[in-house]
Amino acid sequence: MSFFLTPVLIAIILILIGRIFKSEGPSKKTEDESKTKPEHQPWVDEDLKDNTELHQIEDEDELHESEENLEHVPFSSPRFPESEMIKRSQEFYELLNQRRSVRFISDEPVPRQVIDNVIKSAGTAPSGAHTEPWSFVVVQDAEIKHKIRMIIEDEEEINYKKRMGAKWVNDLKKLKTNWIKEYLDTAPYLILIFKKIYGVTSSGRKKTHYYNEISVSIACGILLAALQNAGLVTVTTTPLNCGPRLRTLLDRPANEKLLMLLPVGYPRKDATVPDLKRKPLEEIMVVV
């Protein structure tokens, strides 16, 4: 009996081993392929495809010096009774829930001090290793605004007609957007937010800016909230492949890459927005 079972067992084991290899084969190939062939992502700006985070460009001497000298001071912050906390958080939500991306912006002037304050607010954002890797370029000059519009419309027309493909154009249909961006002329301010992909130390050496894109994105979120709080509107835009031309126009250094452009002002009286709905709490929050 055992003489008969042994060859049968061996045959079964061989078949199983064969199956395992067969099933591993194609997935291995896919893994290899994914290494050599990166996914085609036309919506990722060429200028933003940097791998700064992966390279050690730290000036170690300066880091140690600044770490050693940093004094620690007592911390205190306002504390509210629970009922007040609930009220404040509810009111803050209601304020932010009124925020909409507005693409029809009036040319009515806005006090510069408000812009200074919202950018100061953005500058309070946390940043990887407190590198504060951001520059907020405020454009109020009509001629420069128009040059920015020309650059963006040029590239956006290519995005819509050639670069991005039918799926992207179709996904945007509901927003009724196209490559014509009148708000770039009419908005009293354009705020261009650049991420500094590395810093430059006092001795002129490169300094790593950890998580620079995450840090600047948080700052942008705070900026959007501050604009809403001030009663102004904007539309978050990420002008695709305009970075190098805009950087040159605005005379920004090579370590700065355009992350976002916000036209800022009051909404036009006839402004409309798409009737979008936001996901309810149950869909976006998981409590464990």
Ligand X SMILES: Cc1cc2nc3c(=O)[nH]c(=O)nc-3n(C[C@H](O)[C@H](O)[C@H](O)COP(=O)(O)O)c2cc1C
List CB contacts of 205: < 8 A, sequence separation 6 or more.
59, 62
Question: How many CA atoms, within 13 angstroms, populate the side-chain half-sphere of residue 231?
Answer: 3
Question: How many CA atoms, within 13 angstroms, populate the side-chain half-sphere of residue 188?
Answer: 15
Stretch that binds ligand X, among 27-35, 100-108, 121-129, 194-202 (CB under 6 A): 100-108
**C-beta of 129 vs 211, nearer to ligand X:** 211
**C-beta of 52 vs 237, nearer to ligand X:** 237
CA 197 – CA 61 distance, rounded (Å): 20
C-beta of 250: minimal distance to ligand X in Å?
19
**C-beta of 103 vs 207, nearer to ligand X:** 103
C-beta of 186: minimal distance to ligand X in Å?
15
Order the strands of the 256-264 sheet from edge to edge.
134-139, 189-196, 256-264
C-beta of 225: minimal distance to ligand X in Å?
12
Residue 188: closest CA among 101, 269, 270, 266:
266
| Site for ligand X contains 140 (CB under 6 A) | no
**C-beta of 139 vs 208, nearer to ligand X:** 139
Contact 62, 202 (CB under 8 A): yes
**C-beta of 59 vs 240, nearer to ligand X:** 240
Within 10 angstroms of residue 207's Cβ, the number of other Cβ atoms is 18
Please work out the total of residues on this chain that contact ligand X, with binding judged by CB under 6 A: 11
In the set 45, 52, 59, 103, which binds ligand X (CB under 6 A)?
103
C-beta of 261: minimal distance to ligand X in Å?
8
Stretch that binds ligand X, among 21-29, 131-139, 183-191, 230-238 (CB under 6 A): 230-238
Q: For CA atoms 67, 72, 77, 79, give the dihedral sign.
A: positive
In the set 47, 63, 101, 123, which binds ligand X (CB under 6 A)?
101
Query: Measured between alpha carbons, how far is residue 158 from residues 42, 48, 168, 245 in Å?
Result: 12, 18, 13, 15
| Site for ligand X contains 186 (CB under 6 A) | no
In the set 222, 238, 250, 271, which binds ligand X (CB under 6 A)?
238
**Positions in 162-181 near ligand X (CB under 6 A):** 175, 177
| Site for ligand X contains 276 (CB under 6 A) | yes
User: Which residue is at the shortest CB distance from ligand X?
Assistant: 101
In the set 236, 248, 253, 272, which binds ligand X (CB under 6 A)?
236
Query: Among the residues of the chain, which ranges form H helices?
Result: 2-36, 60-69, 82-97, 112-122, 142-158, 165-172, 183-186, 212-230, 243-249, 281-284
Stretch that binds ligand X, among 33-41, 62-70, 99-107, 126-134 (CB under 6 A): 99-107
Q: For CA atoms 148, 150, 151, 156, give the dihedral sign.
A: positive
Binding site for ligand X (CB under 6 A): 100-101, 103, 175, 177, 235-238, 273, 276
